[in-house]
Chain A
Amino acid sequence: MSVATAGRLESTAAAWSLPWLAQRLQRSLLHIAVIGLTLVWIIPTLGLLISSFRPSTQILTTGWWTAVSPPLQFTLQNYQDMLSQSNMGTAIFNSFMVSIPSTVIPVTIAAFAAYAFAWMKFPFRDWIFLAFVGLLAVPLQLTFVPVLSFFVAHGIVPDNLTSLGLPPWIGLWLAHAGYGLPFSTYLLANFFRQLPSDLFESAEIDGAGTLTVFFRIVLPLSVPALASLIIFQFLWVWNDLLVALIYVGGSVEVAPLTVNLANLTNSLGQGYQLLTAAAFFSMVIPLAVFLSLQRYFVRGILAGSVKG
């Protein structure tokens, strides 16, 4: 049911005949439905975007839609205030410090494991892989109390790590890595398995070691899967609120953007103009990643959900 068949259907009836008119009407209704749905979907974001450029007094007294008629009064004041008053600068730095290792660690470790699952033989291999598939559905909430108690008992908490001169987010990295592993391993193992096996055999005949095969053959051939996975995990960690709240809490020095924005939402009585700008500030990186790498992101979602 592609565009071509739909177009062909349209041309079957003679111009201005009754079926032709009916088809015309159907096409118009289709366009109205599509454009209507899309408008409904973008209006919330558009409204906040426009609000974020309006003077604070106006945000509180008139709706955002009044701003598009003259006199036009747009300002960058909200963004300036937000950057100087709300710690969002520190928060975006923290978000990078949380998201980069929380992506690198699980993707790398999952690639090692996926290679073993796909191309090595070891006892209980299929059972362990089945356990990973099962863990895909287990709610993270189930792990919070014991993992947190363990981290607290062994000093893997922000204050203590900072005083030792270590990055305060190590506990959060480990948690995100653990939570990301079942999905990452599942996705990569499925991809690695589909690589042609004669590739490995001929490499072995040529005397290439396991490391060479992994770094020179498997990884380069898996760039599309790796790219999808990296984007997916990065956005997931960047947008995560709950795990960050649990393992690093809300203090300004360590809190990532989502935690900071949630604090701002719950604490601001009057400063709603700051919130509009802060919300957009928090979206800049994920939207940039999404818009530039959308193709890989969509592919990752398809590979992760449509099993088999």
Chain B
Amino acid sequence: MDFSVLLQDIPTLLVVILGVPALLVGYIVGAEFLVRRLPDKNRPQVRPWIWVGPALAMVAAILFIPAIATFIQSFQDNHGNFVGFQNYQTQLSGFPSSGAWIAIRNSIIIWLVIYMILVLTFGLTMAVLFDRIQYETVVKSLIFMPMAISSVASGVIWKFMYWYQPVGANQTGTLNAVVTFFHHDPVAWLQDQWPGGLAILNNLALITVATWGLTGFSMVILSAALKGIPGDLLEAARVDGAGEITIFRRVIFPLMMPTVVVVGTTLVIFAIKVFDVPYVMTNGNFNTDVLALRMYNLLYLSHNNAAAAAVAIVLLIAVVPVLIFNLRQFRAVEARR
């Protein structure tokens, strides 16, 4: 490795490691110093804005105002002229085989539904199974580990799993080695293998990668919820003669339902925003495009900001139900507080 880069960049390093925290602490200490100079009665009016101000300014500048600007831009062309719904019409024309509709189908139907079902099913199964063994911690760590790995690295890992050689050649990909072991022809997992251009198999292959990465997340949360169920409740059910499956269906699952819903809503957001895995593994080819990737390509390859804005709004519309659900959930919790 070339360590001279470190020497060259010592000023940057100092700015990054010392400068940034110094600036932030300097701000709050300096601002408090000024607030104390104010008359007594004005202090409580000014002080909160000093503390909440930087966060408000950043959220407004990076999230809130840009989101509104994108909304406006989706009704304009690339020169800022108002064009009504034209961007949406261009994107959404050619149903059902145009690029945008493939991305919508993949993101909002295939990814959303299958990804959520897979991650929840695996997470719940593991949480229940792992609760009954002594080596729980080790197993949980191993399942959880992919959470620490970037989706890009996961993509590389799985590229080698899905590696495809033509019939007769030595299969070096793990899955095709298994498939050919059972005397089946090797499968080109990442290409469009489904009749009618539905691309179920390769989309499933991508979803598998993401599921592998995120199951640890749902497993950990669901497992915590499971441990929160009082033991005597289950004991009572057993004394009454209920079998383990009945106990799961009638006692454990209903009690865990709120947690399942919370994990599910988080997964909806993840599924709709998915970008890295398709970007690294297929770059959206073979009918595996998703909304986030389409938007990126419109922005960077086509330099079509207006179209990118329209796709972003479609993304937003897809998460609005989750957004509303989150807000209602939050207010319900606040009301109980």
Chain A residues proximal to chain B, CB less than 8 Å: 1-3, 5-6, 9, 30-31, 33-34, 37-38, 41-45, 47-48, 51, 59-65, 83, 88-90, 93, 97, 100-101, 104-106, 108-110, 112-113, 115-117, 120-122, 125-126, 128, 130-150, 165-167, 173-175, 177-179, 181-182, 185, 209-211, 214, 235, 238-242, 245-246, 257-258, 261-262, 265-266, 275-276, 278-280, 282-283, 286-287, 289-291, 294, 297-298, 301-302, 305-308
A-contacting residues, B37-90, CB 8 Å: 44-45, 47-49, 51-52, 54-56, 58-59, 61-67, 69-70, 73
Given contacts A139-B316, A238-B150, contact A147 B158 (CB under 8 A): no
In chain A, what residue has the closest Cβ to B156?
Answer: A279
A-contacting residues, B138-153, CB 8 Å: 139, 141-153
Query: Does B262 lie within 8 Å of A120, measured CB to CB?
Result: no
CA distance A23 to B172 in the complex (A): 41
CA distance A34 to B279 in the complex (A): 32
Nearest 4 interchain pairs by C-beta = A178-B62, A113-B55, A239-B150, A308-B333
Interface SS of chain A: helix, strand, loop or mixed?
Answer: helix
CA distance A65 to B292 in the complex (A): 36
Residues from chain A with Cβ under 8 Å of B198 in the complex? none
Query: Does B54 lie within 8 Å of A242, measured CB to CB?
Result: no
Query: Does A142 lie within 8 Å of B313, measured CB to CB?
Result: yes
In chain A, what residue has the closest Cβ to B226?
Answer: A1
Query: Does B296 lie within 8 Å of A305, measured CB to CB?
Result: no
Query: Does B67 lie within 8 Å of A306, measured CB to CB?
Result: no
Interface contacts (Cβ under 8 Å), in number, total 356
Residues from chain A with Cβ under 8 Å of B269 in the complex? 137, 139
Interface SS of chain B: helix, strand, loop or mixed?
Answer: helix
Query: Does B149 lie within 8 Å of A287, measured CB to CB?
Result: yes
**A184 smallest CB distance to B (angstroms):** 9
Residues from chain B with Cβ under 8 Å of A109 in the complex? 24, 54-55, 58
Max count, chain B CB within 10 A of own CB: residue among A128, A242, A302 = A242
B301 within 8 A of A: no
With beta carbons under 8 angstroms apart, the residue of A48, A112, A149, A181 that contacts B51 is: A112
**A301 smallest CB distance to B (angstroms):** 6
Residues from chain A with Cβ under 8 Å of B139 in the complex? 34, 38
Given contacts A34-B129, A104-B20, A144-B312, contact A265 B319 (CB under 8 A): no
